[in-house]
Amino acid sequence: MASKLTRSNRAGWIMAFPGIALMTLFIIVPFFLAFAFSLTNQRLASPNAVEYVGFENYSDLLGLAVFTLEPERDESGAVVRDEDGEIEYPRLRNFTRNNPDYPNLAGKREWFSWASGENRTVVLSSDVVFMKALVNTFTFVIFVAPIQAGLALCLALLINQKLRGINVFRTVYFMPVVVSIVVVSILWRFIYSPGDGLLNNALGWLTFGAFTPQDWLGNTSTALPAIMAMSIWQGVGFHMVIWLAGLQNISPTLYEAGNIEGANKWQTFRYITWPGLRNTAVLILIVITMQAFALFAQIDVMTSGGPLDSTQVLVFQAVERGYGKQDISGGSTISVILFVIVLTISLIQRYLTRER
Amino acid sequence: MATVKLRDVKKSYGSVEVIKGVDIDINDGEFVVFVGPSGCGKSTLLRMIAGLEDITSGTLEIDGQVVNDLEPKNRGIAMVFQTYAIFPHMTVRENVAFGLTINKASNEEKEKKVAEAARVLQMEHLLDRRPSELSGGQRQRVAIGRAIVRDPKVFLFDEPLSNLDAALRMDMRMEIGKLHNSLAASMIYVTHDQVEAMTLADKIVVLKDGRVMQIGSPMELYHEPANLFVAGFLGAPSMNFIPVTVEAVEGENIAISSPSLDRISVPGKGRSFTVGQTATLGVRPQYIRPASGDSGMLHGKVALTERLGSETVVDVTLASGGTLIVALPEDKVLAEGTETSFDFDPAQAHLFPETP
Ligand SMILES: Nc1ncnc2c1ncn2[C@@H]1O[C@H](COP(=O)(O)OP(=O)(O)OP(=O)(O)O)[C@@H](O)[C@H]1O
Ligand SMILES: [Mg+2]
């Protein structure tokens, strides 16, 4: 018996080997390498020896400071104003460059600021681009995850009916998932293109020409929303299929019982469908969040992070630094930070949605 | 409490007719059991009464009102399913009160009705549990509780006990019997267990291939089966069928014989026979007794004796081939291979013009 077990185990291991080896080579090893690199000043190709730098990479990315600027005053103590009547402040770089009185501001740049009375409060960051990427990534997740999940559920509910030709709709909704995201991104660049793009044309036609064409991807206020919209469209079919599987797992007799008790459509959803989808919902929530954090191809193809860093996101930054700027340690550090963020959020989600 | 009346009720799925014109009358407070082999349309008929399936043609009246086009909730029925159909994410209390919740009943009313149902079903101690913490029998109790709370005119049960083990089934059978006595509501009960049918029913409806074979009280069906199908369907072990030839028609009595049966005269019970035709003689195993020596009218050889303690079932190979089952009320061994003859009271026998 024992010998049979070992033998069958050996066969099992041999069969599992290719999979395990590939996963080790491309997921586990790079993960540890990334963590190791993030503690050094490793570059892609450099004649200098690699040095251990501790958490310097992390502080270079995450360093923040808050500083209050007081207005310039003349001899009488009155606030100095320019021709437009705006208050004049001392230049920020007086404090951030070679100023031994403010070591915590050294090398930092303004991220954003707001007026508080006569004073101006400035938030400074060691790496403004990274911060923008961080904020954009969170914005993307916060909008895309619920909208995509909700839309996918609506589609799944519509599709989960016994109607003639319903498979045509299933195929249509699922189609974008099958097409490579790069191809989809290129297509949507045409849709969004300024002036004569499909979207501008369609909106112009719908409003009888009243609509002024927009440069969707070239405008800081529309670029990220435009990318969100196409990402939602592209991924919704995949999540629809997962919802559909969940829906079909709910026993039809539960619906019949609800029907006999006189539950209307909303009550049926509220008391039977939604509770029955609980596990599916948890799965979708976690998968969508992780996918949204991994946003890269759309940015790479459509905007490269622009305009004015308005579509910078974490993965794009990691790649950009690691390979574009050959700063492997910087890229690795971003990857590790992203990993920690996604892990934390997943754990929180798991905790909040745990079986009670 | 209500009457239920089915008139020429038919059901087709596409071109396949599964209920082929059924007439049934159910009186106020009656317990009616639908029995029949698998696939004969019992569930379909019940679901048509519930309103879960459309009625293709014919009329269904509940309490004197034609309800063909009424929603299930407006028909005054409650249904208990084979798979319980209780909501897994709700406590027992919430499950039982589901119909009241849906109809926005007050909390006091819910409290009162749930307590009443729990008392009737003796499950007060289970109210705060979830279905996953209940046994099969307890789950079915919850489902029955949900039905009671609706205060229906007609209870519908679709094989409510077939997912339970034998001992529990007997307990629950008695409970349902008691429930019927205490609620005095009309009940329609689908089963393919003839013990349930015989013990619970005021009236049994035997179905086959979407047609009613016979309707009557359990004893009527047992002692006066209208046809070969009903005769063979009810009773355990099932009735012996012996192919015979009609020798003479003597007024009410018919003289018959076969190679293994001496010529005897049996009552024709109003069925018409012609001399020389083949017919089937039905005799229940319980009415056959061994005769001394060769003096009996049935001749055969003992093939097997099964001793059950309370009775003995003897398998006999008839002289003309074919088998005869004899059930003796005492513990007795008949040696295998012995040539024996058997007697029965011709008045207890049934002669059917058809052959199986
Ligand atoms: N949705 C359907 N479409 C087509 N045929 C159906 C459908 N539902 C049931 N039938 C057919 O109708 C017939 C009766 O089915 P039904 O479920 O009423 O049988 P039953 O008597 O309840 O059997 P069982 O004892 O196995 O539960 C069967 O032949 C079945 O194949
Ligand atoms: Mg059935």
Ligand positioned closest to the Cα atom of B53: 1
Residue A56 inside a domain? The answer is no
Q: Are residues A159 and A70 in the same domain?
A: no
Domain ranges, residue A73: 64-125
The strand pairing partners of A115, in sequence order, are A120
What is the pLDDT at residue A322?
Answer: 83
Residue B20 Cβ inside 6 Å of ligand 1? The answer reads no
Per the CB < 8 Å rule, is A260 touching B89?
Answer: no
Residues B172-180: contacts with CB under 8 Å, at least 24 apart = B172/B137, B172/B140, B172/B141, B173/B199, B173/B200, B175/B121, B175/B141, B176/B144, B176/B200, B179/B120, B179/B121, B179/B144, B179/B148, B180/B31
**CATH code assigned at A206:** 1.10.3720.10
* d(CA A14, nearest CA chain B) in Å: 41
Coil, helix or strand at residue B333:
coil
Closest residue by Cα to residue B325 from B247, B206, B245, B232: B232
As a whole number of angstroms, the distance between CA A232 and CA A229 comes to 5
Whose tokens are 């040539």? That residue is: B339
What is the pLDDT at residue A5?
Answer: 57
Q: Are residues A135 and A274 in the same domain?
A: yes
pLDDT at A8 over 70: no
Residue A48 inside a domain? The answer is no
Mean pLDDT of A86-94: 77
Q: Are residues A147 and A266 in the same domain?
A: yes
Q: Are residues A192 and A333 in the same domain?
A: yes
Residue B81 Cβ inside 6 Å of ligand 1? The answer reads no
State the helix-helix crossing angle for A181-192 and A223-248, rounded to 10 degrees.
130
As a whole number of angstroms, the distance between CA A313 and CA A322 comes to 14
How does the average pLDDT of chain A come out, rounded? 85
Per the CB < 8 Å rule, is B78 touching A260?
Answer: yes
Atom of ligand 1 nearest to the CA of B11: 12
Mutation pick from B81, B113, B151, B162 vs chain A, by most beta carbons of A within 10 Å, is B81
Half-sphere exposure of A264 (CA within 13 A, CB side): 4
**Tens digits of per-residue pLDDT, B32-63?**
999 999 999 999 999 999 999 999 999 999 99
**What is the torsion angle, in degrees rounded to the nearest 10, for the CA atoms of residue A130, residue A131, residue A136 and residue A139?**
140
State the helix-helix crossing angle for A181-192 and A198-206, rounded to 10 degrees.
50
What is the phi/psi pair of residue A337, to 5°?
Answer: -60, -45
Q: Which residue of A has its CA nearest to B151?
A: A261
Q: Are residues A301 and A227 in the same domain?
A: yes
DSSP letter for A71, please: P
Higher pLDDT, A356 or B18: B18
Residue A46 inside a domain? The answer is no
Chain B residues with beta carbon closer than 8 angstroms to that of A254: 85, 87
Q: Are residues A114 and A175 in the same domain?
A: no
State the helix-helix crossing angle for A166-178 and A223-248, rounded to 10 degrees.
130
Closest residue by Cα to residue A320 from A44, A108, A49: A44
Q: Are residues A146 and A98 in the same domain?
A: no
Q: Of A125, A140, A159, which marks where a domain is finished?
A: A125
Count how many domains chain A has. Answer: 3
What ipTM describes this predicted complex?
Answer: 0.86
Residue A58 inside a domain? The answer is no
Ligand positioned closest to the Cα atom of B192: 1
What is the pLDDT at residue B26?
Answer: 94
DSSP letter for A243, please: H
As a whole number of angstroms, the distance between CA B244 and CA B351 comes to 9
What is the pLDDT at residue A356?
Answer: 67
As a whole number of angstroms, the distance between CA A313 and CA A129 comes to 9
**Regions of chain B short of the pLDDT cut 50:** none
Residue A275 inside a domain? The answer is yes
**Tens digits of per-residue pLDDT, B57-89?**
999 999 999 999 999 999 999 999 998 899 999
Mutation pick from A253, A254, A259, A261 vs chain B, by most beta carbons of B within 10 Å, is A261
Q: Are residues A83 and A6 in the same domain?
A: no
Q: Are residues A135 and A98 in the same domain?
A: no
Residue A298: count of CB within 10 angstroms of its CB: 24
Nearest CA to ligand 1 atom 5: B13
Question: What are B352's two structure tokens?
Answer: 């059917």
